[in-house]
Structure 1
Amino acid sequence: MKLVQRFFLSVLMLGIFATSYAQETTEIVFHKSHEVKKQKAPFSDVVQAGNLFFLAGQIGMDHSTRTMVEGGIKGETVQVIKNIEAVLAQHDMKLENVVKCTVILSTMDDFGAFNEVYSKFFTKKPARTTFAASGLARNAKIEIEVVAVR
């Protein structure tokens, strides 16, 4: 085998070993919800894999009253972001730690109004995917899930 081919084969093998090792040694933690009423839910608020934190989607529910907030898409977007901030705070993070957002709107007609609110909070501009889907939980107008890095 030529020297260059051996070199690239060695680099490839090292990459496969490193990836395999990282997957085997990364601890995965399914964190308990900081909200007592959500601790029996069939999902985790946060799953941690190394320094990555995968947050479950949040809707515009005021968790102290367990009711959806008023104010349409803008009011719900503010509440969703407050809910995300509360979950992040439990893990000593802020919105600045967010690297990816997935946004689900009940209708793309709300995109402009949502974006007005969103851009005031997510000033670092994390990567984002936005789409519309009908039938969000609690008849919500918006749901956002995020990935954060600590």
Structure 2
Amino acid sequence: MNTLNGLPAHVLLVHGVVVLLPLSALLLVLTSVWPAARRRLAGPNAVLAVLVVLLVPLTTDAGEWLERRVPSSELVRNHAELGDTAIFYAVPVAVLALVVWWRDREARVTSGRRTYLAPLSVAVTGVVVVLALVVAAAGVYGMYRIGDSGARAAWTSGHS
């Protein structure tokens, strides 16, 4: 997918990643630390985080297509290199969102069933919370850097 309604697809798809990845990261932190939010939002956030993982390669592929059609500059190259790192922010958010959802699911149905992710362990919960905070912070900061470099490339180079 290179264009949508005549516009470069990257310009449209990137908004989904820039909004949805930080949203998923925020929901990851919320669901990892607050049991009431976990019960309501862990499942939807797991789905959202996986969708973001699927959206990132579409966005970066569309960005590579666009990169070949705009004048080359250091700003464009820098943005393209940073954009290639987006998947490394999206995957950990998705994995931890799935872990939080699975642990909540197991905690609700533990009677007589074997559990795999220690849903009632305070220590494991603490590790998940710390990992969620680190991964979420990295994801939000990474999206900021990627988005900022893209805006600089577009507005400074006259591609807007």
With the shorter chain as reference, the TM-score category is under 0.3
Q: Which has the larger radius of gyration?
A: 1
Kindly indicate whether structure 1 or structure 2 has the higher relative contact order, using CA contacts under 8 Å at least 6 residues apart: 2
More helix by share: 2
TM-score (norm 2): 0.24
TM-score scaled by length of structure 1: 0.25
